[in-house]
Amino acid sequence: MKFFVDTADTAEIRELAGSGLLDGVTTNPSLIAKSGRKMADVIAEICAVVPGPVSAEVTATDSAGMLKEGRYLAQIAGNVVVKLPLTQEGLKACKVLTDEGTQTNVTLCFSAAQAIVAAKAGATYVSPFVGRLDDIGQDGMELIADIVQIYANFPAFQTEVLVASIRSPMHVVNAAKLGADVCTLPPAVLRQLFNHPLTDKGLDAFLSDWKKTGQSIL
Ligand code: G3P
């Protein structure tokens, strides 16, 4: 399973890149707005730090506008993935960009039917939002299970399942159990993956016993 980080905070990305766990980055217009910086500058900086796929989202709502923006974003760096909304216009643009050899991420996916049409449009990634489905009382993971099963039925579908809107380590574990290709994690959730209270407690006990021996390994 690949790990992407879901942020446009370049300081966070630099720090997390050092963990060796980062396979890529996803951004969206809200995250870029939060950074307070110009989108092209942020994306260029992220692409220079992380060699893996970096999603940059269009904001036009018609396919011609999306294509213009997508082509502009794609020339910022070779690892830019153009992110498009899961609308009829978005999928039209996705098909053209895919045919041009640009990587695409179709986002705001909330149903298995939407995931099917994203795969038919040749999306490199589809981003189902599990947390936002949970928020409205639905089961986000059920959607991941459906998409993984459907894509497995059709080997011609090359689209990877990129689980987005992740809120907790359990989302990551459950997505991994289902065989989803990628999880995009907010930095805080990525850090939570390392933690367990019994690890901290056990380490404290080991170190305290070790101190009593008066030894040092080197
Ligand atoms: O980047 C898309 C997605 O991960 C957003 O998550 O937490 O705003 O629902 P969230």
Number of the ligand 1 atom closest to the C-alpha atom of 55: 1
Residue of 106, 133, 110, 131 whose CA lies nearest to 120: 106
Return the residue whose CA atom lies nearest to atom 7 of ligand 1.
165
Q: Look up residue 28 and give its amino acid.
A: N
- Domains, the chain, in order of start with CATH, read 2-213 (3.20.20.70)
**Could you tell me which residues come within 8 angstroms of residue 112 by beta carbon, excluding any fewer than 6 positions away?**
143, 146, 147, 150
Which pair of tokens denotes residue 49? 């730090």
Sign of CA dihedral 85, 146, 168, 206: negative
Q: Is the CB of 6 under 6 A from ligand 1?
A: yes
Please give the torsion angle defined by the CA atoms of residues 135, 137, 143 and 146, in that order, rounded to the nearest 10 degrees.
170
Number of the ligand 1 atom closest to the C-alpha atom of 131: 9
- Catalytic residues, by residue number, are 83
Q: Is the CB of 184 under 6 A from ligand 1?
A: yes
**pTM of the complete model:** 0.95
Max Cα–Cα distance, the chain, nearest Å: 71
Per-residue pLDDT of the chain (218 residues; tens, 9 = 90+): 999 999 999 999 999 998 888 999 999 999 999 999 999 999 999 999 999 999 999 999 999 999 999 999 999 999 999 999 999 999 999 999 999 999 999 999 999 999 999 999 999 999 999 999 999 999 999 999 999 999 999 999 999 999 999 999 999 999 999 999 999 999 999 999 999 999 999 999 999 999 999 999 99
